[in-house]
Structure 1
Amino acid sequence: MRGQANPWAALGALCIGFFMILLDTTIVSIAIPAMVRGLNTDLNSVVWVMSVYLLTYAVPMLFTSRLGDRFGPKRVFLAGLVVFTAASLWCGLSGTAGMLISARAVQGLGAALMTPQTLAFITHLFPPTKRGPAMGLWGGVAGLATITGPLLGGVLVDGLGWEWIFFVNVPVGLAGIVLTLRWVPDWRPGRAHSFDVPGILLSGAGLCLLVFGLQNGQHYDWGKVAGPVNTFETIAAGVVLLAAFVVWQRFNRAEPLIPLAVFGDRNFSAGTLTSVTVGFTMTSMFLPMVIFLQEVLNLSPTKAALVTAPMSLLSGFVAPVVGRLSDKVNPKYLVVTGLVTLVAGLGLIALAAHATGSPWALLPGLLLCGLGIGTVFPPMSNATMSSVQQRLAGAASGIFNTARQVGGVLGSAATGVLLQARITASMAAEHGNAPLALTDAARETLLLPMAVLLLGVLAAVAIRRPTPRSPVSTPQTESAVA
């Protein structure tokens, strides 16, 4: 097959699906005011449109990474691409918030099927010594898609309506299906896994309860949710179930959902924890900025997105360059530099946000954010995955991607709660002056991702220069990288 002889063509086809997945983690943010009005709903419901996608994306990923090992990554990737494309059409056709939330949940499942297969294919298509540029492209796509979402979303919302942020996925998804069939080799690892059903149930239920409690606490005034159960008990139950999940993974003698042995690799542990903080930030930084730009400065979705466009362009330019560097220097220095730069950028944005100011006063901070994001993704991915044993690559890919998405889920939920709470408090403090109140709330909310990123810096310091493990040699691997 031609795809076997051209790993870059195969990676390009996979990146189309990966681009759509990450695009849909942020494209909704720019459409929030339009969706609130168009669906005649409230802010909490629209935040759920973001959170449910991230939740159904994150929860099944540990399981779907094993599906790739059993049935072949190409087949699972294609199945996910079909589900994602069909669910995108459903999202665009939704007429109520409840229907849209349901469609986004299915869309997240499609994304969960696709994502682990991309990293698994990189470890298959490229030998350890040549993975830096491949990770650079993968990281560039991740950074560019995550930040391009608001720009594309703004243009679509202004020109065609919020529904088109989902309709646009349909032709792209169909193109991705054709290219995947044409270019991606039908690699089958041939590893038959038993599925850890108790682990799937414990992790899924724990995350759902935790996120539901966090995000709806404000809605229920941190009181009763149903009957005698209150929000704090819901959150506590989620934490207990997640703790039980970890214990079960330790004592499961068959095949745990998370093989804890993979955390014996220092780089994998540090990189995964860093990934959580990056995922948290990538979803939590946009909500307060969108509210400030559209509701305080009265920018249209397109103009608000254009303000963030330089950040997107810089990130996409920097990531491939940094990916090549990550093979030559200790990735720790690149990751720490990127995280610190991102913290500084968010700090400048918070300082520059004024109710009567210019949106372009945010530009220096946005450029620093773009530089930081482009610098973080490739070395973080490379360092995390490069020294993982080949037999654990599928599970490691699932854990690594799940960690980032769990961070995103928590970031979306926590930021939505904090922003709504700060708006209420600021409205009282500013005696009903909405522009000043919303500005204060947005600036204060940006402190949350900054604090989380500092935890990421502490984790990234533990990263060492990877010592790649030799993959299992197969004729297919050799032909793929020829």
Structure 2
Amino acid sequence: MTHDTSPQTTAHSHGHDHGHDRDAQSPPAVRRPGTMLALICVAQFMLVLDVTVVNVALPDMAADLHLDRTAMTWVVTAYTLCFGGLMLLGGRLADVLGARRTLLAGLAVFTAASLVSGLATGAPVLIGGRVAQGVGAALLSPAALSLVTTSFHGPARNKALGVWAAIGGTGSAIGVLVGGALAGGPGWSWVFYINVPVGIALLAALPVFVPARAPQPSARLDVPGALLVTAGTGALIHGLVRAGDGGWGAPATLLPLVAAVALYAGFAAVERKTREPLVDLRMFTRRPVLAGAFLMLIATGLLIAFFFLGSVYLQHGRGYGALRTGLVFLPVAVAVGAGAHLGSRLVTTAGSRATAVGGMVIATAACVPLTRIGAGSSAYGVLLPGLAVAAFGLGAVFVTATTTALGMVAHEEAGLASGVVNTFHEVGGAIGVAVVSAVAAAGIGGAVGSVAGFADAFTVCAVAAGGCAAVSAVLVPRGKPETGGAMPVH
């Protein structure tokens, strides 16, 4: 999974342009910048880890807590839904309250929510804990990136952002191993418990090394906009999940989908009328931003869907243990980073369009063998190669999405463009899991050993990747971004 920024991204990287120019020009002195960066990166690392670590541990959670398919899906999507839907509001809160205060508030919420999730004895508490984790992440992440970009300057800032980027690249890979080891060892609860001592230690250390910055109390908070867009996405996911039970034409499916359209329309109306909107909708008239957001939505949806489908297929359908599943997924996570590394070079030579189309064509081709997967398919001969090659192609698309959005817009718009793309990143993961969960409902919610529906779900993934390649051939600009390659961050 990747979030992205680049050295070109300024202090506004959390998605808005208010309040940080003054901080960037005369920030408070940082006593030990290296220590501060390390602490902030550890906090961000917990957020990254909590995506893949839960995917691998999910079947054990389902067995222990008797979760049905709908609950399993929400355990994954609730976190990314709230993370993405509230991220821009979290960035604005960092202006209003100060970045350090927002960072610590987000960390406190995330840590407490991790404890609640680990103690859960049923679906309501577990999903509620995941919602609260997402809220904490939405406060923590943009405030943390703001502190990194305003505390370092020149070459030091590029190095700091490079460290920040490495967190995303390693987080997914380590997450599959940690999730497998904890779920297969002390139990699934420890994928959440492990955050608690780390969070408490960070809450004690961060105030010592992170300087306070002047808040901007005059800035306006677009709370209605944040709530509308989050509720709209929640309704969309609810409708998609219900389709797996009642069908796509059932009222229980259609009503939430209609509600989602109405909530999105309300969000657009609020954003047009608000003096300081959460998102300037005119950004979507910028072709590079629209292309970057589209690529990020599809690429993240596919990647998180792969982790979700693969984990349930191996553990629920084939009887693999959590640790063995984590080991199977390790090459897949590494392939994302390898693809991103190659993509960062290709966008500056072949250009954005060629790299995006090429990456999606690779992902499409890799999905084709998976469309015939069954109970007797080899995990190492079919599933692993297919997912690894597809992830390699998606890695290149992640980089293309961010370099296109950030490197082809005016410098003063880079912060807002970054916020838009990062939001689509989180929301894309939630939507992707909801779609494949509905399509593979029979295999996910059926008896142990059932693999019905997985081939259909991978077929949907192949069609989505192929469709994205076709759209990218028209939508993505031909040019080469100014920046030499964005760095995946989460």
Q: Same fold (TM over 0.5)?
A: yes
1:232 corresponding residue in structure 2: 254
Alignment correspondent of 1:420: 441
Is 1:347 aligned with 2:368?
yes
Are 2:226 and 1:200 equivalent residues in the alignment? yes
Aligned counterpart, 1:301: 322
Name the SS for the 1:31 alignment partner: helix
The amino acid across from 1:448 in the alignment is V
Match of 1:453 in 2: 465
- 1:409-440 CA-to-partner distances (Å, cap 9, x unmatched) read 2112112111105778xx8xxxx9x75x51x5
Q: For 1:355, what is the secondary structure of its paired residue?
A: coil
Assess if the C-alpha contact under 8 Å between 1:271 and 1:383 holds in 2. Answer: yes
The runs of 5 or more residues in structure 2 that have no matched partner are 1-27, 484-490
More deviation, 11-20/49-58: 11-20
Shift of 1:57: 1.7
1:223–1:387 distance in 2 versus 1, CA, 3 Å: closer
Structure 1 pair 173/335, CA: closer, same or farther in 2 (3 Å)?
Answer: farther
SS of 1:248 mapped into structure 2 = helix
- Distance (whole Å) between structure 2 residues aligned to residue 255 and residue 93 of structure 1: 40
**Residue in 2 aligned with 1:356?**
376
Task: Judge conservation of contact 2:348–2:480 (CA < 8 Å) in 1.
Answer: no
Q: 1:365 aligns with which of 375, 386, 389?
A: 386
Judging changes above 3 Å, is the alpha-carbon distance between structure 1 residues 143 and 282 closer, same or farther for their aligned structure 2 residues?
farther
Instruction: Indicate whether 1:466 and 2:481 are aligned.
Output: yes
**Deviation (angstroms), 1:134:** 6.0
Shift of 1:294: 1.6
Rounded to whole Å, the distance in 2 between the matches of 1:462 and 1:122 is 30
3-state SS of 1:195 partner: coil
CA distance in 2, matches of 1:73, 1:110: 14
1:214-363 pair list within 5 angstroms: 214-219=240-245, 230-250=252-272, 252=273, 254-316=275-337, 319=340, 323=344, 330-350=351-371, 353-361=373-381, 362-363=383-384
1:22 and 2:41 equivalent? no
Partners in 1 of 2:63 and 2:339 — Cα distance?
A: 37
Letter in 2 for 1:274: L
Shift of 1:174: 3.7
Corresponding residue pairs, total: 452
Is the contact made by 1:139 and 1:323 (CA closer than 8 Å) also made in structure 2?
no
Give distance in 2, aligned partners of 1:326 and 1:179: 40
User: Would the aligned equivalents of 1:277 and 1:407 in 2 still touch at CA under 8 Å?
Assistant: yes
Q: Which amino acid aligns with 1:15?
A: C
Q: Structure 2 counterpart of 1:453, which letter?
A: A
Aligned to 1:86: 112
Cα pair 1:13 1:176 within 8 Å, conserved: yes
8 Å Cα contact 2:106-2:137 kept in structure 1: yes
**1:69-123 CA deviation, whole Å, 9 max, x = no partner?**
3333333222212211111111111112111111111111001112333554565
1: CA distance, partners of 2:404 / 2:424: 15
Taking the aligned partners of 2:293 and 2:159, their CA distance within structure 1 comes to 20
Q: Confirm or deny: 8 A CA contact 1:135 1:382 kept in the other structure.
A: no
CA distance change for structure 1 residues 115 and 247 in 2, over 3 Å: closer, same or farther? Answer: same
Partners in 2 of 1:193 and 1:304 — Cα distance?
47
Q: Distance in 1 between matches of 2:52 and 2:403?
A: 24
Q: 1:197 to 1:307 in 2, by over 3 A?
A: closer
TM-score by length of 2: 0.80
Q: Find the aligned partners of 2:161 and 2:398 in 1 and give their Cα distance.
A: 9
| 1:55 counterpart residue number | 81
Paired letter, 1:47: T
Supply the distance in 2 between the matched residues of 1:210 and 1:318 (Cα, whole angstroms): 31
AA matched with 1:17:
A
Amino acid at match of 2:262: V
Provide the rounded CA distance (Å) in 2 between the counterparts of 1:418 and 1:218: 6
Which of the numbers 95, 108, 114 marks the counterpart of 1:69? Answer: 95
Instruction: Please say if residues 333 and 391 of structure 2, whose CA atoms lie closer than 8 Å, have aligned partners that are also in contact.
Output: yes
Give the drift of 1:297.
Answer: 2.6
Please give the secondary structure, in 2, of the residue aligned with 1:446: helix
**1:154 equivalent among 180, 188, 209:** 180
Percent of aligned pairs with the same residue?
32
- In the alignment, the residues of structure 1 paired with residue 357 and residue 202 of structure 2 have an alpha-carbon distance, to the nearest angstrom, of 34
Matching residue's letter, 1:146: S
CA offset digits 1:335-363 (Å, max 9, x no partner)? 44443333333334445x44234322133
Please give the alpha-carbon distance, in whole angstroms, between the structure 1 residues aligned to 2:112 and 2:248.
37
Higher mean alpha-carbon deviation, 37-46 vs 184-193, is at: 184-193
Q: Residues of 1 paired with 2:264 and 2:314: CA distance?
A: 37
Contact 1:26 1:146 survives alignment (8 Å) = yes
Give me the TM-score of the superposition, normalised by structure 1: 0.81
